[in-house]
Amino acid sequence: MTRSIFLKSTLAATGLSAAASAAEPAARDYIEIRKYLLKSADKQALLEAYLREAAIPALNRIGVSHVGVFFPEQAEATPVVYVVLRHARLETLAQSADLLSDAALQQAGAAYLDVKAAEPVVERIESWLTRGIDGLATLQSAPKGSRLYQLRIYESHSEKAARKKLEMFTVGELAIFARCGLNAVFFGETLVGPLMPNLTYLLAFADTAAKDAAWNTFRADPEWAKLKTTPGFTDKEIVSRITNLLLVPAPFSQI
Protein backbone atom coordinates (compact mmCIF):
# COMPACT_ATOMS: atom_id res chain seq x y z
CA MET A 1 0.00 0.00 0.00
CA THR A 2 1.38 3.41 -0.94
CA ARG A 3 1.66 6.19 1.61
CA SER A 4 -1.02 8.32 -0.11
CA ILE A 5 -3.52 5.45 -0.19
CA PHE A 6 -2.75 4.66 3.46
CA LEU A 7 -3.36 8.26 4.50
CA LYS A 8 -6.63 8.45 2.57
CA SER A 9 -7.82 5.19 4.13
CA THR A 10 -6.87 6.35 7.60
CA LEU A 11 -8.59 9.72 7.20
CA ALA A 12 -11.71 8.08 5.84
CA ALA A 13 -11.81 5.61 8.72
CA THR A 14 -11.54 8.34 11.34
CA GLY A 15 -13.92 10.71 9.60
CA LEU A 16 -11.25 13.40 9.43
CA SER A 17 -11.41 13.63 5.64
CA ALA A 18 -15.08 14.67 5.65
CA ALA A 19 -14.48 17.10 8.49
CA ALA A 20 -11.60 18.71 6.63
CA SER A 21 -13.70 19.07 3.49
CA ALA A 22 -16.52 20.63 5.45
CA ALA A 23 -14.10 23.13 6.95
CA GLU A 24 -12.78 24.28 3.58
CA PRO A 25 -14.09 27.75 2.65
CA ALA A 26 -16.38 28.07 -0.34
CA ALA A 27 -14.68 29.12 -3.57
CA ARG A 28 -14.84 32.85 -4.17
CA ASP A 29 -14.32 34.84 -7.33
CA TYR A 30 -11.96 37.77 -7.41
CA ILE A 31 -13.49 40.57 -9.45
CA GLU A 32 -11.13 43.17 -10.88
CA ILE A 33 -12.46 46.52 -12.07
CA ARG A 34 -10.35 48.63 -14.40
CA LYS A 35 -11.16 52.24 -15.18
CA TYR A 36 -9.59 53.54 -18.39
CA LEU A 37 -9.35 57.33 -18.34
CA LEU A 38 -9.19 58.31 -21.99
CA LYS A 39 -7.09 61.18 -23.24
CA SER A 40 -9.98 62.31 -25.43
CA ALA A 41 -13.31 60.97 -26.67
CA ASP A 42 -11.98 60.35 -30.18
CA LYS A 43 -9.61 57.71 -28.74
CA GLN A 44 -12.42 55.45 -27.52
CA ALA A 45 -12.77 53.53 -30.79
CA LEU A 46 -9.09 52.57 -30.64
CA LEU A 47 -9.42 51.29 -27.08
CA GLU A 48 -12.60 49.39 -27.94
CA ALA A 49 -10.88 47.67 -30.87
CA TYR A 50 -7.95 46.69 -28.63
CA LEU A 51 -10.24 45.22 -25.98
CA ARG A 52 -12.43 43.39 -28.50
CA GLU A 53 -9.75 41.99 -30.80
CA ALA A 54 -6.69 41.60 -28.58
CA ALA A 55 -7.15 41.91 -24.82
CA ILE A 56 -10.35 39.91 -24.30
CA PRO A 57 -9.24 36.92 -26.45
CA ALA A 58 -5.89 36.90 -24.60
CA LEU A 59 -7.58 37.07 -21.20
CA ASN A 60 -9.94 34.26 -22.18
CA ARG A 61 -6.95 32.12 -23.15
CA ILE A 62 -5.49 32.31 -19.64
CA GLY A 63 -8.78 31.45 -17.97
CA VAL A 64 -10.44 34.82 -17.41
CA SER A 65 -13.73 33.60 -18.83
CA HIS A 66 -15.85 36.72 -18.32
CA VAL A 67 -14.69 40.18 -19.30
CA GLY A 68 -17.25 42.96 -19.16
CA VAL A 69 -16.80 46.27 -20.99
CA PHE A 70 -19.03 49.17 -20.03
CA PHE A 71 -19.52 52.84 -20.88
CA PRO A 72 -21.22 55.51 -18.75
CA GLU A 73 -24.86 55.90 -19.71
CA GLN A 74 -24.24 59.64 -19.89
CA ALA A 75 -20.94 61.04 -21.11
CA GLU A 76 -18.59 62.23 -18.36
CA ALA A 77 -16.27 65.22 -18.46
CA THR A 78 -13.32 62.83 -18.76
CA PRO A 79 -14.21 59.97 -21.14
CA VAL A 80 -13.95 56.62 -19.34
CA VAL A 81 -14.36 52.92 -20.09
CA TYR A 82 -14.91 50.37 -17.33
CA VAL A 83 -13.65 46.80 -17.68
CA VAL A 84 -14.75 44.08 -15.24
CA LEU A 85 -12.78 40.82 -15.09
CA ARG A 86 -13.72 37.61 -13.29
CA HIS A 87 -10.75 35.77 -11.80
CA ALA A 88 -11.71 32.33 -10.48
CA ARG A 89 -8.10 32.03 -9.27
CA LEU A 90 -5.65 34.70 -8.16
CA GLU A 91 -3.12 33.14 -10.53
CA THR A 92 -4.91 34.61 -13.53
CA LEU A 93 -4.62 38.07 -12.00
CA ALA A 94 -0.85 37.67 -11.95
CA GLN A 95 -0.84 36.14 -15.44
CA SER A 96 -2.82 39.06 -16.84
CA ALA A 97 0.08 41.34 -15.94
CA ASP A 98 2.31 39.33 -18.30
CA LEU A 99 0.00 39.37 -21.31
CA LEU A 100 2.20 41.78 -23.24
CA SER A 101 4.46 38.81 -23.95
CA ASP A 102 1.58 37.15 -25.83
CA ALA A 103 2.47 37.33 -29.52
CA ALA A 104 -1.16 37.18 -30.66
CA LEU A 105 -2.07 40.07 -28.40
CA GLN A 106 0.87 42.11 -29.65
CA GLN A 107 -0.17 41.60 -33.25
CA ALA A 108 -3.90 42.16 -32.80
CA GLY A 109 -3.41 45.10 -30.46
CA ALA A 110 -0.56 46.89 -32.24
CA ALA A 111 -2.59 49.98 -33.13
CA TYR A 112 -3.27 50.59 -29.43
CA LEU A 113 -0.03 49.29 -27.91
CA ASP A 114 2.34 51.08 -30.28
CA VAL A 115 0.90 54.59 -30.04
CA LYS A 116 3.40 57.42 -29.87
CA ALA A 117 4.03 59.30 -26.62
CA ALA A 118 2.65 62.44 -28.22
CA GLU A 119 -0.66 60.72 -29.08
CA PRO A 120 -1.66 58.58 -26.06
CA VAL A 121 -4.98 56.76 -25.97
CA VAL A 122 -5.39 56.81 -22.18
CA GLU A 123 -4.37 59.29 -19.54
CA ARG A 124 -4.12 56.54 -16.90
CA ILE A 125 -5.66 53.21 -15.90
CA GLU A 126 -7.04 52.81 -12.38
CA SER A 127 -7.80 49.39 -10.94
CA TRP A 128 -9.22 47.75 -7.86
CA LEU A 129 -9.62 44.11 -6.78
CA THR A 130 -12.58 42.73 -4.88
CA ARG A 131 -13.44 39.33 -3.41
CA GLY A 132 -16.89 37.73 -3.45
CA ILE A 133 -18.82 37.97 -0.19
CA ASP A 134 -20.72 35.41 1.87
CA GLY A 135 -24.04 34.75 0.16
CA LEU A 136 -22.79 35.79 -3.28
CA ALA A 137 -19.28 34.42 -3.61
CA THR A 138 -19.15 34.17 -7.40
CA LEU A 139 -20.06 36.19 -10.47
CA GLN A 140 -23.68 35.69 -11.55
CA SER A 141 -25.08 35.76 -15.07
CA ALA A 142 -27.11 38.86 -15.81
CA PRO A 143 -30.73 38.23 -16.86
CA LYS A 144 -31.13 37.91 -20.61
CA GLY A 145 -31.77 41.24 -22.23
CA SER A 146 -30.00 43.33 -19.58
CA ARG A 147 -28.97 46.61 -21.19
CA LEU A 148 -28.40 48.80 -18.14
CA TYR A 149 -25.97 48.13 -15.30
CA GLN A 150 -25.49 49.90 -12.00
CA LEU A 151 -22.08 49.96 -10.32
CA ARG A 152 -22.29 51.05 -6.69
CA ILE A 153 -19.52 51.62 -4.16
CA TYR A 154 -20.26 51.84 -0.43
CA GLU A 155 -17.43 53.44 1.52
CA SER A 156 -17.17 53.11 5.29
CA HIS A 157 -15.31 55.13 7.91
CA SER A 158 -13.43 52.08 9.28
CA GLU A 159 -12.64 48.46 8.45
CA LYS A 160 -14.98 47.27 11.19
CA ALA A 161 -17.86 49.36 9.84
CA ALA A 162 -17.22 48.00 6.34
CA ARG A 163 -17.42 44.45 7.65
CA LYS A 164 -20.70 45.32 9.33
CA LYS A 165 -22.10 46.41 5.94
CA LEU A 166 -20.98 43.08 4.46
CA GLU A 167 -22.77 41.32 7.31
CA MET A 168 -25.90 43.34 6.62
CA PHE A 169 -26.04 42.04 3.06
CA THR A 170 -25.35 38.48 4.16
CA VAL A 171 -28.02 38.29 6.86
CA GLY A 172 -30.82 39.81 4.85
CA GLU A 173 -30.20 42.51 2.28
CA LEU A 174 -29.09 40.14 -0.50
CA ALA A 175 -32.34 38.20 -0.20
CA ILE A 176 -34.36 41.42 -0.28
CA PHE A 177 -32.45 42.55 -3.38
CA ALA A 178 -33.25 39.30 -5.18
CA ARG A 179 -36.93 39.44 -4.22
CA CYS A 180 -37.29 43.03 -5.41
CA GLY A 181 -35.68 42.58 -8.83
CA LEU A 182 -32.28 44.10 -8.02
CA ASN A 183 -30.37 41.54 -10.07
CA ALA A 184 -26.89 41.15 -8.60
CA VAL A 185 -24.01 40.32 -10.94
CA PHE A 186 -21.40 40.48 -8.21
CA PHE A 187 -20.77 41.77 -4.71
CA GLY A 188 -17.14 42.30 -3.80
CA GLU A 189 -15.25 43.35 -0.71
CA THR A 190 -12.44 45.56 -2.00
CA LEU A 191 -9.03 44.12 -1.11
CA VAL A 192 -6.78 46.48 -3.08
CA GLY A 193 -7.58 49.84 -4.62
CA PRO A 194 -8.88 53.35 -3.96
CA LEU A 195 -11.59 54.49 -1.53
CA MET A 196 -10.99 51.67 0.94
CA PRO A 197 -12.59 50.29 2.96
CA ASN A 198 -15.50 49.72 0.61
CA LEU A 199 -17.96 47.26 -0.85
CA THR A 200 -18.41 47.34 -4.64
CA TYR A 201 -21.31 45.68 -6.45
CA LEU A 202 -22.90 45.49 -9.89
CA LEU A 203 -26.60 45.16 -10.71
CA ALA A 204 -28.26 44.43 -14.07
CA PHE A 205 -31.57 45.65 -15.48
CA ALA A 206 -33.46 45.54 -18.76
CA ASP A 207 -33.74 49.34 -18.85
CA THR A 208 -34.21 52.47 -16.74
CA ALA A 209 -37.87 51.70 -16.07
CA ALA A 210 -36.98 48.26 -14.69
CA LYS A 211 -34.26 49.80 -12.51
CA ASP A 212 -36.58 52.42 -11.07
CA ALA A 213 -39.33 49.89 -10.44
CA ALA A 214 -36.97 47.53 -8.64
CA TRP A 215 -35.55 50.26 -6.39
CA ASN A 216 -39.05 51.55 -5.57
CA THR A 217 -40.11 48.01 -4.62
CA PHE A 218 -37.00 47.68 -2.47
CA ARG A 219 -37.56 50.97 -0.64
CA ALA A 220 -41.14 49.94 0.20
CA ASP A 221 -40.19 46.45 1.37
CA PRO A 222 -41.16 45.94 5.05
CA GLU A 223 -38.17 43.70 5.77
CA TRP A 224 -35.83 46.38 4.39
CA ALA A 225 -37.55 49.00 6.56
CA LYS A 226 -36.83 46.85 9.59
CA LEU A 227 -33.27 45.92 8.62
CA LYS A 228 -32.09 49.46 7.82
CA THR A 229 -33.20 50.70 11.24
CA THR A 230 -31.63 47.85 13.20
CA PRO A 231 -28.98 49.18 15.60
CA GLY A 232 -25.55 48.54 14.10
CA PHE A 233 -26.91 48.46 10.54
CA THR A 234 -28.02 52.07 10.04
CA ASP A 235 -26.30 54.05 7.30
CA LYS A 236 -25.02 56.70 9.71
CA GLU A 237 -23.15 53.97 11.61
CA ILE A 238 -21.53 52.05 8.75
CA VAL A 239 -21.74 53.92 5.41
CA SER A 240 -19.93 57.22 4.86
CA ARG A 241 -20.39 57.69 1.10
CA ILE A 242 -22.08 55.96 -1.85
CA THR A 243 -20.94 56.23 -5.47
CA ASN A 244 -23.56 55.36 -8.06
CA LEU A 245 -22.68 54.78 -11.74
CA LEU A 246 -25.09 53.85 -14.54
CA LEU A 247 -23.38 51.90 -17.32
CA VAL A 248 -24.27 50.34 -20.66
CA PRO A 249 -22.43 47.27 -22.00
CA ALA A 250 -20.36 47.23 -25.15
CA PRO A 251 -21.76 44.94 -27.88
CA PHE A 252 -18.83 42.57 -27.27
CA SER A 253 -19.04 42.59 -23.46
CA GLN A 254 -19.02 39.10 -21.92
CA ILE A 255 -20.98 40.23 -18.86
Tell which residue, 193, 199, 202, 255, has the closest CA to residue 59: 255
What one-character-per-residue DSSP string does 162-186 give? HHHHHHHIIIIIHHHHHHHT-EEEE
> In this predicted model, what pLDDT tens digit does every residue of 15-34 receive, in sequence order?
434 443 444 456 999 999 99
> In this predicted model, what pLDDT tens digit does every residue of 86-100 receive, in sequence order?
999 999 999 999 999
> In this predicted model, what pLDDT tens digit does every residue of 222-254 receive, in sequence order?
999 999 999 999 999 999 999 999 999 999 999
Residue extents of the structural domains in the chain:
30-249
Q: Which fold has domain 30-249?
A: Alpha-Beta Plaits (3.30.70)
List own/partner pairs for 174-177 with CB under 8 A and 24 or more apart. Answer: 174/135, 174/136, 176/218, 176/221, 176/223, 176/224, 176/227, 177/203, 177/218
Residue 2 has pLDDT above 70, yes or no: no
Q: Helix, strand, coil shares of the chain as percentages rounded to 5?
A: 40, 30, 30
pLDDT at position 25? 57
- CB count, 10 Å around CB of 229? 10
Q: Is 171 exposed, middle or buried (0-12, 13-18, 19+ CB in 10 A)?
A: middle
What distance in Å separates the CA atoms of residue 123 and residue 38, rounded to the nearest whole number?
5
